[in-house]
Structure 1
Amino acid sequence: MSPIRLIILVGAAIAAIAAAFLVRNMAQAPVVASAPEPVVETREVSQTRVLVAKRNLQIGDMITPEDLRWADWPESSVLNTYSTEAGDSDAMEKLAGSIVRIPIYEKEPIMDTKLVMKGDTGTMAALLTPGMRALAVEISVESATGGFILPNDHVDVILTYEVEGASSDEKLPITKTVLQNVRVLAIDQVYNTEEFGGASQIGSTATLEVTGDEAELIAYAERRGILSLSLRSWSDVGEAESRKARSDLLNAAGGGPSESGVVVYKNGQVDMPVGPRGR
């Protein structure tokens, strides 16, 4: 046998042995099982309908049924303070007229703890604009535009008083505008126009929204004479410059309260002192 042929035979034998080992190893390799398909379990979440805000509600806003709506809510997350359609279907009507005392955001459930309920003692404080005061003044049919002044109207406050004329026995009437563009918060104890049940209502007290300085001025003016309310048009309610006090209040000849030491305010600022220490 030639050497070349011997080399070929030996190489073939080695290749056969290698192939046998390879086949053996492949036969003994563990079979990898395919991962099972994930099982998606669907559970039905029990829901109920709760009363939520339809828009952002700010402090002092008066709630109407249009501000509220029923929304689906997970039953496991429903608190005792929520109003549910199943348990209180007329909640919208019950809450109408309530005042917001803590901001409520859109889609947030309505809770009584964030409201001043209609008729509660804290209603007037919730109605007030921050920084303002509520001051009650006596009115009559003649002094309140025949009863046509309603809550949320704006008025001018007018003072009528008498001064001495040429002789000590002669009295002359003087009329001055104390304040302009003042918001009416309530007539008597009614702060919502819907409570009147008509176009007009006679009251004996009007509650006005004023600053601290304006409250002092009106309180003095009420002691000085008779106050009347003049109804303003809605078209000029927003005029910023229209809210002011007359700087010449009670400063007519013979009528200045020189003995009182009163300070007159204009736009919330001291305008001029009237009295012994004033000009």
Structure 2
Amino acid sequence: MRAVFGLVLIVGVALAGGAVYMARDYISQYQAQLARERQATQDALANVKSVATIGVIVSNRSMKYGERLTQEDIRVVNWPEDAIPEGSFVDMAVLFPEDAKGDRFVLRAMEKDEALMAVKVTEPGESAGLTSQIEKGKRAFAISVDVASGVSGFLRPGDSIDVYWTGTVSRGLEGGGGEITRLIQTNIELIAVDQIAGSDLTGTTIARTVTVAATPEQIAALAQAQNTGRLSLALVGVQDDTVASAIEVDQGKLLGIEKIAPEVVVEERKCFTNIRRGAEIVQTQIPCTN
């Protein structure tokens, strides 16, 4: 009996020793793996370069076209140096110079935390009217529209439009007559709809007039076209960079009717000779020789 008890005790001790050895080996492997992962993390962090940032002035609230810009409306946030939008203000002294002759005004709607850029605000002392949006060498010109010619109220300041003229051409012009439709101006910049010049216009608005920015020559053509016919506007897509060619449609082209050239009637050539018969001269027809 004692021999059996001793054998069981020896086997139990052997099993316990084996379990302890296996547990110690597993723990050692786990600790080694953990140490390797910790070292890899430290190496990765050591290789990461710090991102350089610059303080950029952003809007502190939502702002609309025409609002006066004050220092309470802005704040400075750190932006990655290589991701700063072009034209952003980074110096408060530049945005609000000490020798400023007036306030700045908002030209484009801005949301909270949006970067403040030079194209979105006026110069100090400059109004937010149309004069601040017209490029050098261009003028503002108003075009009368309705729900049909004004693209059903979907026009917005900042859009580009093509202008078509429909009118009657006199028979003495271009060798014919009748009503035609012709593309007269392309990619004209729209700067105002009725009395709204900002981009804050929401929803559809059935305007009575739209204002475009164009060169004096273009304005002369638009004025002549508006006084002699009807103008229709076509909205140009934002990503459309194609150049429209000269387009003209009359009723014949619209209906696919080909013009028939008038039949040319060739008159028969006749030759005559005069024959004296006594005191009388008689005209007699003879064959033509040339």
TM-score, with length taken from structure 2: 0.44
**TM-score, normalised with respect to structure 1:** 0.45
